[in-house]
Amino acid sequence: MEKTLVTSLTRSSGGRMDSREFVKRLAYYYNEPIEKAGKPNIRLTYIIKWLEEEINPNNYESLLNKVISEFEPTGVNPMPLIPHIARIAGKGTAEKDKQDRWDAEAKEVISRIVYAIAKIGYVNPDRARVYVGELGWKIVERRGGWEAICGIEEKDLTSFTAQCRDLAKSILYRVDKGMTEKPALPKANYAELANNLKELTNG
pLDDT tens for 164-202 read 888 888 888 888 777 777 676 555 454 454 555 455 445
% the chain with pLDDT above 70: 78
Instruction: Indicate if 81 and 97 belong to the same structural domain.
Output: no
Average pLDDT of 39-61? 90
Its sign, for the CA torsion 140, 146, 151, 153, is positive
Q: What is the DSSP letter of 5?
A: G
Instruction: Indicate if 39 and 134 belong to the same structural domain.
Output: no
Instruction: Indicate if 44 and 137 belong to the same structural domain.
Output: no
Instruction: Indicate if 182 and 97 belong to the same structural domain.
Output: yes
Instruction: Indicate if 114 and 46 belong to the same structural domain.
Output: no
Final residue in a domain of this structure, among 90, 105, 121 = 90
Instruction: Indicate if 99 and 158 belong to the same structural domain.
Output: yes
- Could you give the number of structural domains in the chain? 2
Instruction: Indicate if 188 and 130 belong to the same structural domain.
Output: yes
Q: Which of 9-13, 126-130, 173-177 has the highest mean pLDDT?
A: 126-130
The CA distance from 161 to 157, in Å, is 6
Instruction: Indicate if 107 and 188 belong to the same structural domain.
Output: yes
Instruction: Indicate if 101 and 161 belong to the same structural domain.
Output: yes
Final residue in a domain of this structure, among 55, 90, 125 = 90
Structural domain that includes position 66: 3-90
